[in-house]
């Protein structure tokens, strides 16, 4: 492939790399990571400048920033080309609207190079960018644009119908990325304007604490909430992309996440680009063959994905893997939901690579607890707090608990990428904190070595006959059963036991959903885990409800079970 010529630049003297890890992590302070940014000397802040222009104006000018591939396109953009395209996008946005610093601009489209130009161009213009999943339907789009009083949105002709412009009085412009878009006083043909636009743009300079991205995420109740990140998050994203993603100059990095999800911005755009790395973006839907083919074709070295994806690949069978050359992979990572030890085992078997689990949240804006660097991995554990982060298990009043006690996973507030507000909802923001601790809503324990073990969302923990059972533990065990491909476990109210464990499972092809199989599964968990952890009830499903980030939505299972309303489903896959 002509566009795929690799541009290898060796690590230069003075560049940070993992070999320096010990040195930099010792007594590390986040301020230590500020020096590299242009704003450290100029005082002029803009995350898009640091991610794109800083490299375009350096020896990385002709290094590929982005490979893009889908069924119809296969392209490559160097840092210099990214600078021009994002400048053009910024010009298009500026010339065709009244968008200015701090205004909300949404991006609602499937992955394509234009999405990345527009997102970074919007940042250059100083707007706060809200990326939305292409799967959102009208109601979800409305909620987000309405709540944040968005001034403009960028979308495609296919998705245009889902933007209820007439119900959004603050929405001034709709930029449409398509062929021969018919322009009106509201609609702008993005591609046409891009062609005409200048590739020079005067970046709008901001303050470190000004907004950058706005990610809407849903809790267990209420409307989705707008989590706002700031420019200063770049400090953490740069540094963790080194320590955790282990990005080096010559890497080909592939983050499989869509920018509609925080992983797709923090580590799909900012982490790699702040480091001047080369990323692959694969458009289109998940297909096992396409994924393996992409790793082979691009020689992917660092791969960041999610347990659901790994499980789907696992389900497709190992024979397929032998048809591809995946030998370039050197560092594999996972995020979004518990990484079952079974999957880690599979990764070792088929890729001969350890899958590094990472834990963080939309609200944290960056990596918090991870298997970073070359630390020993304990399968089933999320790893340790990354340098500069203080994590602990606290009780409901914020008292730190000793090792091996289950409690609230909490983080000492004040890390660089921490959300700075919930849009329009100060009260909600405040409710996350107990004193100096940000309380995550996850329950976990920390062992004597400082490794954190995820137990479930606080509200998911099951109490059955006085025993505390983490649904994740049971789900992991269920997944080890040869018939099971997906499992979700909830506590079902029971007059005698408080709750009983109920499992919803999807079967691998070729297995019949019989009563014998149920009994076999029950015995399997009983033997493998504990009698009290064995599900009393098992229900077969074709597919389980999941978020786009791959988490089994236990609250939906629970709602089905108890015949309750399912609540906000906008983050649900499909
Ligand atoms: C919730 C946050 C930041 C991208 C992830 C999705 C769960 C996340 C892990 C992990 C177990 C995990 C937690 C967390 N989660 N990573 N490695 N092991 N659970 O972000 O949609 O904001 O969800 O995802 O429950 O609170 P999100």
Assess whether 229 and 328 both reside in one domain. Answer: yes
**Per-residue pLDDT reduced to its tens digit, 399-433:** 999 999 989 999 999 999 999 999 999 999 999 99
CA of residue 361 to ligand 1 center, whole Å: 5
**Quick check: 102 pLDDT over 80?**
yes
User: Domain range for residue 300?
Assistant: 21-389
For residues 4-32, average pLDDT: 59
Work out the number of other CB atoms within 10 angstroms of the CB of residue 289. 11
Average pLDDT, the chain: 91
Last residue of a domain, one of 342, 365, 389: 389
Average pLDDT for 133-160: 93
Q: 131 near 156, Cβ under 8 Å?
A: no
The two three-digit tokens of residue 308, written as one number: 């659901």
Q: Is 218 in the pocket of ligand 1 (CB under 6 A)?
A: no
> Does ligand 1 have an atom closer than 6 angstroms to the CB of 475?
no
3-class SS of residue 434? strand
* Number of domains present in the structure of the chain: 2
**Res 10: pLDDT:** 46
CATH number reported for the structural domain that contains residue 526 in this entry: 3.30.300.30
Contact 252, 300 (CB under 8 A): yes
Q: Is residue 131 part of a domain?
A: yes
SS (H, E, C) 357-372: EEECCHHHCCCCEECC
Please identify, among 333, 356, 389, the residue that sits at the C-terminal boundary of a domain: 389
Q: Are residues 369 and 475 in the same domain?
A: no
Report the distance separating Cα 458 and Cα 59, nearest Å. Answer: 48
Q: Which residue in the block uniquely carries the two structure tokens 């350890």?
A: 354
Report the candidate in 7, 116, 68, 112 with the shortest Cα–Cα distance to residue 294. 68
Nearest CA to ligand 1 atom 24: 336
Find out whether the beta carbon of 338 lies less than 6 Å from any atom of ligand 1. yes
pTM: 0.85
pLDDT tens by residue, 452-474: 999 877 878 787 876 767 788 78
Q: Are 500 and 385 within one domain?
A: no
Q: Is 457's C-beta closer than 6 angstroms to any atom of ligand 1? A: yes
Choice from 216, 339, 359 to test ligand 1 binding pocket (greatest atom count within 8 A of CB): 359
CA 358 to ligand 1: nearest atom: 17
Q: Are residues 477 and 359 in the same domain?
A: no
Cα(170) to centroid of ligand 1, in Å?
33
Q: Is the CB of 454 under 6 A from ligand 1?
A: yes
Query: pLDDT-derived band of residue 19, with 50, 70 and 90 as boundaries?
Result: low
Q: Does 226 sit in the ligand 1 pocket, CB within 6 Å?
A: no
Lowest average pLDDT, out of 129-143, 196-210, 342-356, 463-477, goes to 463-477
Least confident of 172-176, 261-265, 387-391, 496-500: 496-500
Q: Are 76 and 185 contained in the same domain?
A: yes
Confidence of residue 9 (pLDDT cuts 50, 70, 90): very low
Cβ atoms 383, 451 nearer than 8 A: yes
Would you place residue 338 in the very low, low, confident or very high pLDDT band (cuts 50, 70, 90)? confident
**Confidence class for position 20, pLDDT limits 50, 70, 90:** low
Can you give the CATH number for the domain in which 80 is found?
A: 3.40.50.12780
Residues 278-296: pLDDT tens digits? 999 999 988 999 999 999 9
Contacts of 483 (CB under 8 A, 6+ apart): 507, 508, 511, 517, 520, 521
221 and 321 part of one domain: yes
Does 536 fall in a domain?
yes
- Regarding whether 380 and 466 lie in a shared domain, the answer is no
Would you say residue 313 lies in a domain? yes
Residue 44 lies in a domain: yes
Does residue 190 share a domain with residue 56? yes
| pLDDT tens-digit readout, 483-519 | 999 999 999 988 777 789 999 999 999 999 999 999 9
pLDDT of residue 218: 65
How far, in Å, is the centroid of ligand 1 from the Cα of 454?
A: 10
Phi, psi of 214 (to 5 degrees): -125, 110
How far does residue 514's CA lie from ligand 1's centre (Å)? 34
> What's the 409 CA to ligand 1 centre distance in angstroms?
12
CA 559 → CA 151, 218, 443, 568, distances in Å? 36, 16, 21, 12
The answer on 341 and 214 residing in a single domain is yes
Q: Look at ligand 1, atom 20, and give the residue with the nearest C-alpha.
A: 361
Whether 201 and 93 have beta carbons less than 8 Å apart is answered as: no
In a domain, 429, yes or no: no
Note whether 363 and 509 are same-domain residues: no
- What is the 8-class DSSP label of residue 398? S
Residue at a domain's end among 389, 411, 442: 389
Residues 373 and 513 in one domain: no
Whether 352 and 474 share a structural domain: no
Question: Residue 538 has what pLDDT?
Answer: 97
> What is the pLDDT, as a whole number, of residue 14?
43
**Residues 6 or more apart from 458 whose CB is under 8 A from it?**
408, 441, 442, 443
The response to whether residue 549 sits with its C-beta less than 6 Å from ligand 1 reads: yes
Answer whether residue 512 is part of any domain: yes
Within a domain: residue 338? Answer: yes
Relative to the CA of 369, which ligand 1 atom is closest?
17
Q: Is the ipTM of this complex over 0.95?
A: yes
Q: Is 263 in the pocket of ligand 1 (CB under 6 A)?
A: yes
Is ligand 1 within 6 A of the CB of residue 245? no
Task: Tell me if 258 CB under 6 Å of ligand 1.
Answer: no
The single-letter DSSP state of residue 19 is G
The answer as to whether 65 is a domain residue is yes
């Amino acid at each position: 492939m002509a566009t795929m010529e690799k541009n290898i630049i060796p690590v230069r003297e003075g560049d940070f790399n993992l070999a320096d890890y010990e040195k930099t992590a010792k007594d590390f302070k986040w301020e230590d990571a500020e020096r590299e940014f242009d704003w450290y000397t100029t005082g002029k802040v803009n995350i898009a400048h640091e991610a794109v222009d800083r490299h375009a104006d350096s020896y990385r000018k002709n290094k590929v920033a982005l490979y893009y591939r889908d069924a119809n396109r296969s392209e490559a953009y160097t840092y210099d080309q990214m600078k021009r395209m994002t400048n053009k996008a910024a010009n298009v946005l500026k010339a065709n609207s009244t968008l200015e610093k701090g205004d909300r601009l949404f991006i609602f489209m499937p992955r394509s190079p234009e999405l990345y130009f527009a997102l970074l161009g919007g940042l250059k213009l100083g707007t706060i960018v809200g990326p939305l999943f292409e799967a959102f339907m009208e109601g979800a789009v409305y909620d987000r644009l309405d709540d944040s009083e968005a001034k403009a949105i960028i979308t495609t002709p296919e998705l245009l119908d889902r933007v209820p412009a007439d119900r959004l009085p603050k929405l001034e412009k709709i930029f449409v990325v398509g062929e021969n878009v018919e322009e009106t006083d509201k609609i702008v043909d993005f591609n046409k304007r891009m062609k005409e636009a200048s590739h020079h743009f005067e970046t709008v300079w901001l303050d470190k604490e000004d907004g950058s991205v706005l990610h809407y995420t849903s809790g267990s109740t209420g409307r989705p909430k707008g989590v706002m990140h700031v420019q200063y998050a770049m400090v953490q994203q740069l540094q963790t992309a080194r320590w955790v993603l282990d990005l080096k100059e010559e890497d080909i990095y592939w983050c499989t996440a869509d920018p509609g999800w925080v992983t797709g911005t923090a580590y799909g755009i900012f982490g790699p680009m702040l480091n001047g790395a080369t990323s692959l973006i694969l458009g289109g839907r998940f297909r096992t063959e396409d994924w393996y083919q992409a790793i082979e074709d691009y020689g992917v070295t660092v791969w960041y994905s999610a347990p659901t994806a790994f499980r789907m690949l696992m389900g497709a069978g190992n024979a397929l893997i032998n048809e591809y050359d995946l030998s370039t992979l050197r560092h594999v990572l996972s995020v979004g939901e518990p990484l079952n030890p079974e999957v880690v085992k599979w990764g070792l078997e088929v890729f001969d690579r350890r899958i590094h689990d990472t834990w963080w949240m939309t609200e944290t804006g960056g990596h918090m607890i991870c298997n970073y660097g070359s630390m020993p991995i304990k399968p089933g554990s999320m790893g340790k707090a990354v340098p500069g982060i203080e994590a602990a298990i606290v009780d409901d009043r914020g008292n730190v608990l000793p090792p091996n006690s289950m409690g609230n996973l909490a983080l000492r507030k004040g890390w660089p990428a921490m959300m700075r507000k919930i849009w329009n909802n100060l009260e909600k923001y405040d409710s996350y904190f107990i004193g100096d601790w940000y309380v995550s809503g996850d329950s976990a324990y920390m062992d004597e070595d400082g490794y954190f073990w995820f137990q479930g969302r606080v509200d998911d923990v099951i109490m059955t006959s006085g025993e505390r059972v983490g649904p994740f533990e049971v789900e992991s065990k269920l997944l080890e059963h040869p018939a099971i491909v997906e499992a979700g476990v909830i506590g079902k109210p029971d007059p005698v036991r408080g709750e009983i464990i109920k499992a919803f499972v999807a079967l691998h092809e070729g297995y019949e959903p019989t009563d014998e199989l149920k009994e076999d599964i029950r015995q399997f968990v009983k033997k493998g885990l504990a009698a009290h952890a064995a599900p009393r009830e098992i229900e077969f499903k074709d597919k389980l409800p999941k978020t786009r980030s791959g988490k089994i939505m236990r609250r939906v299972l629970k709602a089905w079970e108890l015949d309750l309303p399912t609540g906000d489903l906008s983050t649900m896959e499909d």
